[in-house]
């Protein structure tokens, strides 16, 4: 295992760094570095900039219009984007559903859906979790009944991230109740503008509506939108989730937020507190260890080995690190981390209160929001069981 980057990889990093810093709008980078609210226009605007360059589908092979980068190049691209202050690529289209369409969709589906994903024009949402079916996706109840050349979909999805912006949704739907629960699930692509689709935002602790409930009332979906074979959706879902959990580790964002934590600690005068600095050092050690684990995965992929068995480990450690840096930021800012007044921020106020700094205003929001990380994408308790079974035997 060689964790050192080659001269060619270092040259690639320099190329990406130069391009990203030249094309990333400064106002968006300012928002990201200070954890200020990103609008749909901010997120999709950056996606379209990447799409025009051909880099939104940064993990795609050349045969589908991607750059055909190696695993190491993809990692370096994500790192440089994160450190520059670029918004995280919304993964549902380019990172999650696109690989499923490439692997299991037919040629017509690939021609129809992939260009809109690659350009950033079409916003995709994920229809997996349901009330009572979160980490246990095999128990989904949303029903799709085949009637002629279409499916009639009824049911409900929940915790649909940024679903209020969605144009299309990929769904796990139940098409059979025979046999094991996993054998009756299908993978269906659904136009969210279809009659009978209702999106209801859920307001969270931080005042944001990042997640949604989505209801389906006799929604008609053309049968041609079925990916692969009917009742084989569980296989496709597992393929997608392996990409999601690797993505959730998000070590590059943690490296950026570590620097933000240090800035806050210095601004608030706690950097000289040895015990507090010890906590920052412990966090930094864990981030370096997580990065080494990610690089081990990349090294395995580079040599053609299957490394997805430890995707759960990446998710567990990555999510715990995200919660820890949010907690330390709150501790560093003390009382100034608390003033989070939703109505004032809606009106444009971003923390210009006496004794505080702009970067402190969203700390409470960040802290509350990141409580979710050990639950979504498969709760960490479930992930530990999976790791125990697949890695330890």
* 355 vs 249 pLDDT, higher one: 249
* Domain span holding position 305: 249-392
For residues 266 and 353, membership in a common domain is answered with: yes
For residues 154 and 48, membership in a common domain is answered with: no
For residues 146 and 82, membership in a common domain is answered with: no
Checking if the pLDDT of 106 tops 70, the result is yes
Q: Which of 232, 259, 289 is the last residue of a domain?
A: 232
Best CA proximity match to 37, nearest among 377, 350, 389, 256: 350
For residues 350 and 296, membership in a common domain is answered with: yes
For residues 221 and 253, membership in a common domain is answered with: no
For residues 16 and 138, membership in a common domain is answered with: no
For residues 227 and 285, membership in a common domain is answered with: no
Burial label, 151 (beta-carbon count in 10 A; 0-12, 13-18, 19+) = buried
- Using pLDDT thresholds of 50, 70 and 90, give the confidence band for residue 307: low
- Asked whether residue 282 is domain-assigned, the answer is yes
Q: Which of 207, 232, 257 is the last residue of a domain?
A: 232
Q: Which of 205, 232, 259 is the last residue of a domain?
A: 232
Contact at 8 Å (CB) between 208 and 200?
Answer: no
Taking residue 88's Cβ as centre, other Cβ atoms within 10 Å add up to 16
pLDDT given for residue 386 in this prediction: 81
- Using pLDDT thresholds of 50, 70 and 90, give the confidence band for residue 309: low
- Asked whether residue 101 is domain-assigned, the answer is no
> Where would I find the beta strands (DSSP E) of the chain?
124-127, 143-147, 150-157, 168-174, 185-191, 197-202, 211-222, 226-227
- The b/e string for 325-343 (b: 16+ C-beta within 10 A; e otherwise) is bbebbbbbbeebbebbeee
Question: Mean pLDDT, to the nearest integer, of 47-54?
Answer: 98
| CATH code of the domain in which 139 resides | 2.40.110.10
Computed over every residue of the chain, the mean pLDDT equals: 89
- Using pLDDT thresholds of 50, 70 and 90, give the confidence band for residue 160: very high
Count of structural domains within the chain: 3
- Using pLDDT thresholds of 50, 70 and 90, give the confidence band for residue 161: very high
| CATH code of the domain in which 23 resides | 1.10.540.10
- Asked whether residue 98 is domain-assigned, the answer is no
For residues 200 and 137, membership in a common domain is answered with: yes
173 vs 166: CA distance, rounded Å: 18
| CATH code of the domain in which 318 resides | 1.20.140.10
- Asked whether residue 237 is domain-assigned, the answer is no
- Asked whether residue 72 is domain-assigned, the answer is yes
32 vs 138: CA distance, rounded Å: 36
pLDDT given for residue 250 in this prediction: 87
For residues 136 and 193, membership in a common domain is answered with: yes
pLDDT digits (tens, 9 = 90+) for 331-374: 998 877 876 666 666 666 555 555 556 667 678 888 988 998 99
* pTM, entire model: 0.88
Contact at 8 Å (CB) between 85 and 32?
Answer: yes
Question: Mean pLDDT, to the nearest integer, of 4-28?
Answer: 95
- Asked whether residue 110 is domain-assigned, the answer is no
Best CA proximity match to 155, nearest among 190, 104, 109, 203: 190
- Asked whether residue 240 is domain-assigned, the answer is no
For residues 274 and 385, membership in a common domain is answered with: yes
For residues 228 and 253, membership in a common domain is answered with: no
Question: Mapping DSSP to helix (H, G, I), strand (E, B) and coil, where does residue 136 land?
Answer: coil
- Asked whether residue 342 is domain-assigned, the answer is yes
For residues 260 and 386, membership in a common domain is answered with: yes
């Amino acid at each position: 295992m060689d964790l050192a980057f080659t001269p060619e990889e270092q040259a690639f990093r320099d190329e990406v760094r130069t391009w990203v810093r030249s094309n990333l709008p400064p106002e968006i980078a300012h928002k990201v570095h200070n954890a200020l609210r990103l609008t749909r226009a901010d997120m999709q605007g950056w996606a379209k900039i990447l799409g025009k360059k051909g880099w939104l589908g940064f993990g795609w092979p050349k045969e589908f219009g991607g750059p055909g980068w190696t695993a190491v190049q993809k990692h370096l691209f994500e790192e440089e984007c994160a450190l520059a202050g670029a918004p995280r690529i919304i993964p549902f289209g380019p990172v999650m559903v696109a690989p499923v369409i490439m692997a299991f969709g037919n040629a017509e589906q690939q021609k129809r859906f992939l260009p809109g994903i690659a350009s950033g024009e079409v916003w995709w949402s994920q229809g997996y979790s349901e009330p009572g079916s979160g980490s246990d996706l095999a128990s989904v109840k949303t029903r799709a009944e085949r009637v002629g050349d279409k499916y009639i979909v009824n049911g409900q999805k929940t915790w649909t991230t940024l679903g209020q912006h969605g144009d299309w949704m990929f769904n796990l739907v139940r098409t059979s109740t025979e046999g094991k629960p996993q054998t009756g699930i299908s993978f269906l692509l659904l136009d969210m503008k279809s009659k009978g689709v209702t999106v209801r935002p859920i307001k969270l602790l931080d005042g944001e509506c990042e997640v949604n409930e989505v209801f389906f009332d006799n929604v008609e979906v053309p049968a041609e939108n079925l990916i692969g074979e009917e009742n084989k959706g569980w296989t496709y879902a597992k393929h997608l989730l392996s990409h999601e959990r690797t993505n959730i580790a998000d070590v590059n964002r943690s490296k950026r937020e570590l620097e933000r934590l240090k800035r806050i600690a210095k601004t608030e005068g706690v950097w000289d507190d040895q015990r507090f600095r010890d906590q920052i050092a412990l966090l930094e050690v864990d981030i370096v260890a997580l990065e080494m684990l990610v690089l081990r995965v990349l090294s395995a992929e580079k040599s053609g080995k299957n490394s997805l068995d430890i995707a759960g480990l990446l998710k567990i450690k990555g999510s715990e690190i995200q919660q820890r840096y949010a907690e330390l930021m709150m501790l560093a800012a003390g009382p100034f981390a608390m003033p989070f007044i939703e109505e004032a921020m809606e009106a444009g106020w971003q923390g210009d209160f006496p004794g505080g700094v702009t970067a402190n205003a969203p700390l409470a929001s960040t802290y509350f929001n990141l409580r979710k990380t050990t639950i979504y994408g498969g709760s960490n308790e479930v992930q530990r069981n999976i790791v125990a079974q697949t890695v330890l035997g």
